[in-house]
Amino acid sequence: MRPKLPHAGSLWHSGRDTLPEKSPIIPFAGRVGANQEFTLGKNSCARAEILQKFPDAAPWIPVRDAVSLKGFLQIELWKAATVEAIASCLLVYLTCFVAIGLGQVVPVFASGPVVPGLIGGLTALLALPLFIYSAGPVSGAHINPIITIATFFSRLCSLPRAVLYVSFQAFGAAVAGYLLRASMDTRSFIVPGCYIDTSKISIGSAFTIEATTDFALVFLSFGVGLDPRQREVFGPALGPIFVGLIVGMCTFFTGFSRDGYTGFSGNPARCFGAMVGSHFSSYHWIHWIGPLTAGMLHGVLYFFVPPYSREEVAAARNIRDDDES
């Protein structure tokens, strides 16, 4: 059990003041599963400089900092995006590979897609925490455009980082698609979670399920993996496991109730990669517009009900501005 933070009253202050300037861990408020533990503390002497370079080193990024394009000049962002690309490539490859197999065995089970859906949920539950642990210290372990989009709209992630991450995630997923095609000896394969039988389910239904479940995914992921108040409840070892549980749960819950629907996507890059490897379908926009809708809705919620005192955070940022002037 984690010891109580001594100054738990002011949650935002409990960021790390001791992160050295040369440490390879760049503070990032949007790190998944860490519940903002690795954010910038208030008293760091290097504060101003770090916030200048990485406005998302602390939460509640001012709008003018968030959209500033200076971030594209930071080599660390490009390194982090590269790790996102590699992790996305591997995650998409593995979860598509196993899902293809699970989709094939559905007709074998008398119970239909329930058991394969359960196993499919289990695969997400297993794979995701391991990837979050591995990529977390470098990139914050989004490994999924839906998380990057949601953290951007929640002002935990700057625009340059968001653009780089989503692009590199999509690129990594595309490489995974080509590797899948090579591994399957064919481009005729179906990836559950990205396939919809449009003769059995309307586009409106598919979009409703996708967007609603995406919003649940974002809401819950922020609740267990990006909320500074959870630092007192469980540490950075348990957070990623809960995020895996969320994705696994959503995958299983939406996977078998409607005939012709193979489960929500929850990861636009995964379906992008799967379609690069096989064929693009007309409804692929759902996999992107669903998460975008969910991320924007969540941003509005986050604006009105933030998990920290906004005045306090703004005051801390003003201190920075004073230092600058």
Applying the rule CB under 8 A, the residues between 246 and 305 that interact with a second copy are: 246, 249-250, 252-254, 256-258, 301, 304-305
Residue (68 or 126) nearer to a second copy, CB: 126
Binding track over 214-233 against a second copy, x by CB under 8 A: -xx--xx-xxx--x-xx-xx
The residue behind tokens 């910038």 is: 40
User: What is residue 165's three-state secondary structure?
Assistant: helix
Dist. CA 168–CA 165, nearest whole Å:
5
Residue (48 or 249) nearer to a second copy, CB: 249
Which residues between 60 and 79 bind a second copy (CB under 8 A)?
Answer: 79
Per-residue CA distances from 99 to 195, 263, 281 (Å): 11, 11, 18
Which of these ranges, 161-169, 213-221, 266-274, 279-287, lies near a second copy under the rule CB under 8 A? 213-221
Contact between 140 and 37 (Cβ < 8 Å): no
Question: What does DSSP assign to residue 87?
Answer: H
Of 60, 61, 307, 320, the one binding a second copy (CB under 8 A) is: 307
Task: Name the E strands within 111-185.
Answer: none
What type of residue is 74?
Answer: Q
Residue 242, C-beta contacts closer than 8 angstroms, at least 6 positions apart: 33, 224, 225, 234
Dist. CA 279–CA 301, nearest whole Å:
37
With CB under 8 A as the rule, give the number of residues binding a second copy: 102
Which residues between 78 and 97 bind a second copy (CB under 8 A)?
Answer: 79, 82-83, 86-87, 90, 93-95, 97
For the CB of residue 136, give the shortest distance to a second copy in the complex, in Å.
8
Which residues between 143 and 172 bind a second copy (CB under 8 A)?
Answer: none
For the CB of residue 67, give the shortest distance to a second copy in the complex, in Å.
26
User: What is residue 204's three-state secondary structure?
Assistant: helix
Of 49, 52, 133, 284, the one binding a second copy (CB under 8 A) is: 133
Instruction: Give me the phi and psi of 165, to 5 degrees please.
Output: -60, -50
Binding track over 15-44 against a second copy, x by CB under 8 A: -x-xxx-xxxx-------------------
Which of these ranges, 158-166, 177-185, 270-278, 281-289, lies near a second copy under the rule CB under 8 A? 177-185
